Amino acid sequence: MRRPVKDTAQSQRKITRRALFLGASQLAFVGALGARMQYLQLDQSDQYRLLADENRINIRLLPPARGLIYDRNGIPLATNKPVYRITMIREDAGDVDAVVARLKALAPIDPEELTRALEELKRRSPFVPVTIADNVTWDDIAEVAVNAPALPGVTPEVGLTRLYPLDNDFAHIVGYVGAVNEADLNRANDRDPLLQIPRFQIGKIGVEAKLEKTLRGKAGTKRIEVNAVGRVMRELGREEGIAGANLQLTIDSALQNYVQARLAGESAAAVVMDVVTGDLLAIGSTPAFDPNKFVNGISQTDYTALLENKYRPLPNKAMQGIYPPGSTFKMITALAALEAGETTSEDTVKCKGHVEVGGRRFHCWKRSGHGNMDLMNSLKNSCDVYYYEMAQRAGIEKISAMAKRFGFGTKFDIPMSSVAKGLAPTKAWKRENRDADWVIGDSLNASIGQGFVLSSPLQQAVMTARLATGKAVRPRLVKSINGIEEPLQGGADIGVNENHLRLVRKGMFAVTNASGGTAYRSRILGDEYQMAGKTGTSQVGNKVVRNADVIWEKRDHALFVSYAPYDNPRIAVSVIVEHGGGGSKAAAPIARDITLQALYGGLPPLSAYPKADRWRIQKEQRALPLRDPKTAVEKSDQA
């Protein structure tokens, strides 16, 4: 039976549409195939020709420039300088021993450095470049470049390394960088591929370590053509990395240099702090060391000398050193008793040279006694018996609480290595840590800053700044990051009765300005910059002989804290001289000199000193190993 004409027409239309769709699809496929062939044969012909010639394209990381570090006035403390180095990739070198033999004939390579490099080549992945020689000369680099065909896998490179132009002055603050080692690579919290770059430098201590990721930056990349024998033929493209952030510290480099110079010859520490902002203006710790020696690996001889020095140059005593605060703690005990209503400015305690409590005799430093002592005179004369009485009235819990309010037992958020927490002990602390009950003798010892009480020079400076202002000021070391100011912390009212603070300040003023005060010989003349302070002696061991009669290591530590000017406080200073003996003789003169230097912005006039001392002071000033930071940086750049 014949199909209707209408059905036949519809079928033909369907077949025509299918044919058109099929034809279009085939055309699109052929067009895409043609476009791909054009891309591969014409646009990418050079790259595939390289592959056909057994060349290949490698992508390598580009280390970013490390962020710079400046002082508060813009003087560089940590900079980058270009260095030349020679690297090798094991899989490109082939016969490593043969290549190294040819390389040694062209450029001098330290045997120890070469041994380390060869061991590293074996440990690292075969495609990771390893530094064979660092800090080589331009002539050596040129010689290697000319002989590149005979040195497969060897690449002469230009990199950056760290330079510390003010060396010893900032060793404990800025710290130093060093090459990445196995311990760094094994850290679970840092998987940055930059750490795989040969001899890539990261912070080891100080600000360099604590703000490592801020200073490090982000890696860039470069595409290079390498031939069959591992020789770099050309660079095909690069994407620069992001440089690390620049830091500006609160430290004044000129004042820092003075502090280091003034502490020279002692095992000592000092902190200078702006009492309003909390800015740390100087952090001294002596003796110090040259951080530049650590950048490329310090020699065993130099490192052994640092370790065996009895003055301990490696630790930062100002931040991680903890010591019994001695009599500098008496302001805390006094405030605890005043705030608890256990004493007033008129109350007196009779000092006979000792007091017997619990069948034990507790002595005053003045064995003959001070007689009747009120609060102001107890600070002026540093009478121990007065504070033994205050301890019994107030109790250790109130003393400890007051100490914490003024910064004791607090680990401040400062980007430096091993910032100490110190200790403001309580009854519960002793039970947990000594498995013993608190006894009344513990309270008496704590009242004069002995026994279990521990603090760092930083905490002593914070305490003094809070005493001077009545504000909970907190220390700040980083002023800005990439020009953006870091916020100030603290500054709220500390919550202590202002009248009680005034009483304590008057006592501190008498220490340095009233005849008979324990630091009267270290006073500052003139009303403009008068200083208030407190001496302290931290006992080392249980000796009953004079400091002069025992070896240096068994002598007492000398402490002093102060703020100035008295009427309008601007700076607080804390000083400790390890095994220096008495605070009035060893620490107070140093603190007075540092205070004047900070307030005058340079060496003060001799009229600021007592007349009897001026000839000696002038001689000491001339002998100080001071230097101008700007000049030192310029000389370092030229070198």
Q: Indicate if 278 and 234 belong to the same structural domain.
A: no
Phi, psi (degrees; rounded to nearest 5) at 122 = -70, -35
Q: Indicate if 389 and 406 belong to the same structural domain.
A: yes
pLDDT digits (tens, 9 = 90+) for 200-254: 899 999 999 999 999 999 988 877 776 665 566 677 777 888 999 999 999 999 9
Q: Please give the residue range of the domain that contains residue 354.
A: 253-298+322-476+487-630
Q: Rounded mean pLDDT of 482-495?
A: 90
What is the pLDDT at residue 53? 47
Q: Rounded mean pLDDT of 581-607?
A: 95
Q: Is residue 31 part of a domain?
A: no
Q: Give the DSSP H or E segment for 318.
A: helix 317-320
Q: Indicate if 438 and 500 belong to the same structural domain.
A: yes
Q: Is residue 41 part of a domain?
A: no
Per-chain mean pLDDT for the chain? 89
Per-residue burial over 16-28, b if 16 or more Cβ lie within 10 Å, else e, is eeeeeeeeeeeee
* Residue scoring higher pLDDT (508 or 638): 508
pLDDT digits (tens, 9 = 90+) for 172-182: 999 999 988 87
Asked if residues 443 and 395 have their Cβ atoms less than 8 Å apart, the reply is yes
Q: Rounded mean pLDDT of 280-288?
A: 98
**Of the candidates 223, 249, 275, which is a domain's last residue?**
249
Asked if residues 127 and 91 have their Cβ atoms less than 8 Å apart, the reply is yes
- pLDDT-based confidence at residue 46 (cuts at 50, 70, 90): low
**Of the candidates 220, 249, 278, which is a domain's last residue?**
249
Q: Indicate if 285 and 243 belong to the same structural domain.
A: no
Q: Is residue 48 part of a domain?
A: no
Identify the DSSP state of 279: B
Q: Indicate if 157 and 175 belong to the same structural domain.
A: yes
pLDDT digits (tens, 9 = 90+) for 595-629: 999 999 999 999 999 999 999 999 999 999 999 99
Q: Indicate if 276 and 224 belong to the same structural domain.
A: no
What is the pLDDT at residue 43? 63
pLDDT digits (tens, 9 = 90+) for 459-476: 999 999 999 999 999 999
CA distance readout (Å), 531 to 271, 414, 469, 573, 605: 16, 27, 14, 10, 16
What is the pLDDT at residue 96? 86
Tally of domains within the chain: 2
pLDDT at 161 over 70: yes
pLDDT digits (tens, 9 = 90+) for 133-142: 887 888 888 8
Q: Indicate if 509 and 497 belong to the same structural domain.
A: yes
- What Rg, from alpha-carbon coordinates, does the chain have? 35
Q: Enumerate the active-site residues.
A: 327
- pLDDT-based confidence at residue 477 (cuts at 50, 70, 90): very high
Q: Rounded mean pLDDT of 147-176?
A: 90
CATH of the domain at 137: 3.90.1310.10
**Of the candidates 208, 230, 249, which is a domain's last residue?**
249
Q: Rounded mean pLDDT of 501-515?
A: 97
- Percentage of the residues of the chain whose pLDDT score is greater than 70: 91
Q: How far is CA 482 from the centre of its chain?
A: 18
pLDDT at 44 over 60: yes
What is the pLDDT at residue 540? 83
